[in-house]
Chains A and B, each alone.
With several copies, the nearest count.
Chain A
Amino acid sequence: MTAGTTSAAAPELSPLAQERLRYRRSRARRSTLVALASTVLFAGAVAVGITSSPGWPRVQDTFLDPAIAWSSLPAVLEGLWLNVRVLVVAEAGILVLGLAIAVLRTLRGPVFFPVRALATGYVDLFRGVPLLIALYLIGFGLPALRLPGVPTDTAVLGTITLILVYSAYVAEVFRAGIESVHPSQRAAARSLGLTHRQSMRLVVLPQAVRRVLPPLLNDFVALQKDVGLISVLGAVDAIRAAQIESARTFNFTPYVLAAVLFVLLAIPTGRVADALAARSARRQGWA
C-alpha cells in the first residue's frame, strides 16, 4: 500500500483529465448527432409520407392556407388577448384559493375533521363538475336569478367559475406537495416555536411548491386554454375566433394558427419551470 504522497492539485487539467473530458464531450456530441440525425430522418420520412399521400393537396389547402392564416390572424390574436387577460386574474385567484383549501385539507387531528371534510367536499364537487357545465350553471344560472348585486358580466362570471373549478385541481397539487415534505421538518419547525401558520409558510410550503412546480404549471397551461371555454357565455376567445373564421371559409387553417399561438404561449411557462427547478437544485447541491 502506498499513500501519503499527494500529487499537486492542478489548477490546470492533467492530460488524463483532459483526455477524459474530450472523450465525454465527443460522446455527448456523437449522441447529439445521432439523435439529431434520427430525428431529422424520422421527421423527413413522415413529411415525405404525408406530402406524397393522395389527400395531401386537400389537407394542405384545408389546414395550411397562408392567405387564410394571415387574414384570420388579427381576429385570433384579439381572441388570445382575452385569454391572457382572464388568465392573469384567474391565476391569482386560483393560487390563493387553491392554497387555502390545500392547507385546510392537510390539517391533522380529529378537531379539524369537519374543516377537512368541507375542503374535501369542495374538491370533489368542483373537480368533478365539467367546466363547461359549471360555466352554464354559474354564467347563465346566476344572472337568471335576477338577484340585485350579482354580476351579470360574462367575463366576470366566467372568471369566477374558472377560479372555483381550477382551485379544486390546484388544491390537490399543493396537497401532494405539502404531504411529501417529511414530518420531521414540521417537527423541527414546531420545536423551534413556530406556529402552525409560520411552519407552513416558512418551512413546508417553500419545499412543497418546489416539488410540485411541474404539475402546478400543468394546470396553468391547461388554464390558458380552458379560459377559452368562457366563450360559451358569449365572449370571443382565440379558439372561438378561429371557429368564426373557420366557419366563414370552411377552412381549418385558423385553428392551426390558434394552436401555434397557444403552443408559443405555453413554451415559456415550461422553461420558467425548468429554470426555477434547476436553480433550486443547484443551490441545494443536488445538481
Chain B
Amino acid sequence: APPASGASCEPGALPTLTPGSLTIGTDQPVYPPWYLDDDPASGRGFESAVAYAIAGKLGYSRDQVTWTRVPFNAAIQPGPKTYDLNLTEFSITDERRQAVDFSSPYYDVRQAVVAMADNPLAGATSIAALANARLGAQVGTTSLDAIQQQIRPASTPAVFNTNDDAKLALTNGQVDAIVVDLPTAFFLTSAELEGARIVGQLPPGTGTPEQFGAVLDKGSPLTGCVSTAVDSLRADGTLASIEQEWLASAGNAPELQ
C-alpha cells in the first residue's frame, strides 16, 4: 500500500469533496453479490458493506456517506472526479496505477467458468478442454484478460457490454461458456440462471494474485488514509466476516487444471 501522503487521517475531517461527508462512487447498474438490488446505500452486498466499514474507520457515520453513480469510463477519466473513492470491482494493475490511485486490496478474486448444464462443456475438468469453445466475457473486466492469457481459445472470445448481455448469449447458446469472477459465478448459478453451472475456477495467475481495490483520483490526499483503513479492517477480521456474510460459498468450486 502506498504510504499515507503526509495527511493526518483525522476521523471525520478528511479533505473530501464535500467536507464532513464521504462521497463513494459506483457504477449504475451494479450487480449482486457486490451490491444487492442495485442499491449501494442499503449496506447489503459485499462492496456496500466494505464501503460502510471503510467509512466507519475513517470516522464517517452511515448518514455521512453519499453515494454517486459513475459509469466505468467516467470513473477513470482524467478530469476532476465526482467521488472520493470508488468501489466497483476494480482490479489493481500497475498499468492502471498510471492513471488512478488504488487503495490496499480488499478482496482477492478468482475467475470462474460458467456454462449451461446441458452443454457438453459443463463436464470439463481441464483448461485445455475449453480451448475450442466459444467463450465470452464482459468488457473492461479482468475476466477477459483471463480468457486470453490463461485459456487462449482458438476463436476470438465474444465481448459484451454487460454481464446481462453475456448471460443472455449464454442461455441463447450463442456462446458455450462465459468467464466471470467467482462470487458473480456463484450468484449467477444459484439465483439467476436456471440450468447454469460453474465448470470450475481458473488457477491463480502467475505473479501477484488479482485483487480488488478502491479507486481514488490520481494523487488523492485520501489514498493513504483509505489504505490504512482497509489494512486495519483486514487486520481486525472485519473484511473476513463481511466476505463470510456475502460471498460465503465462493470457496467450493473445483479448480481447472
Q: Which of A58, A141, A244 contacts B28 (CB 8 A)?
A: A244
Q: State which of A30-38, A188-196, A248-256 sits at the interface with chain B.
A: A248-256
A122 close to chain B: CB less than 8 A:
no
Among the listed B69, B156, B218, which residue makes an inter-chain contact with A58, where contact means beta carbons less than 8 Å apart? B218
Known: A143-B79, A144-B79, A251-B95. 18 other contacts (CB 8 A): A62-B168, A142-B79, A143-B80, A144-B171, A231-B71, A231-B159, A233-B169, A236-B156, A244-B159, A247-B38, A247-B139, A247-B140, A248-B29, A250-B76, A250-B95, A250-B192, A251-B98, A252-B78
- Knowing A140-B79, A143-B173, A248-B29 are in contact, say whether A232-B165 is a contact too (CB < 8 A): yes
* A residues near B29, Cβ cutoff 8 Å: 243-244, 247-248
Chain B residue contacts of A243, Cβ below 8 A: 29, 139-140, 162
How far does the Cβ of B178 sit from chain A's closest Cβ, in whole Å? 10
Chain B interface (Cβ within 8 Å of chain A)?
Answer: 28-29, 31, 37-38, 69-74, 76-80, 82, 93, 95-96, 98-100, 136, 139-141, 144-145, 156, 158-162, 164-165, 167-169, 171-175, 192, 218
Decide: A62 and B99 in contact? CB cutoff 8 A: yes
Residues of A within 8 A of B144 (CB): 244
Pairs A-B, 7 closest by C-beta atoms: A234-B158, A247-B140, A250-B99, A140-B77, A247-B29, A143-B79, A144-B79
Distance of A22 Cα from B169 Cα, bound (Å): 57
Least CB distance, B53 to chain A, in whole angstroms: 25
Give chain A interface residues in 62-97, CB to chain B under 8 Å. 62-63
Question: Are B168 and A234 within 8 A (Cβ)?
Answer: no
| Chain B residues in 8 Å Cβ range of A142 | 79
Given A136-B73, A152-B79, A234-B70: A250 and B158 interface contact (C-beta under 8 Å)? no
The interface residues of chain B, by DSSP majority, are classed as: loop
- Chain A contact patch, size range: 20 to 34
Residues of A within 8 A of B167 (CB): 250
Q: How far is the CA of A181 from the CA of B143 in the complex (A)?
A: 57
Q: B24 CB to closest chain A CB, in angstroms? A: 15
Query: Among the listed B77, B100, B145, B174, which residue makes an inter-chain contact with A252, where contact means beta carbons less than 8 Å apart?
Result: B77
**Which residues of B lie under 8 Å from residue A233 when comparing CB positions?**
71, 74, 158, 165, 169, 174
Interface string of A234-263 (1 = CB under 8 A from B): 111000100110111111100000000000
Inside 8 A of A250's CB, which chain B residues have their CB?
76, 95-96, 98-100, 164, 167, 192
Q: Closest approach, in angstroms, between the C-beta of B88 and any C-beta of chain A?
A: 12
B45 to A: closest C-beta gap in Å: 13
In the complex the two chains form, is A154's CB within 8 Å of B162's CB? no
Cβ contacts A to B, 7 pairs, < 8 Å: A140-B172, A144-B79, A234-B160, A244-B38, A249-B95, A249-B99, A250-B164
A57's nearest neighbour on chain B, judged by CB, is B78
Known: A58-B78, A140-B78. A234 touches B71 (CB 8 A): yes
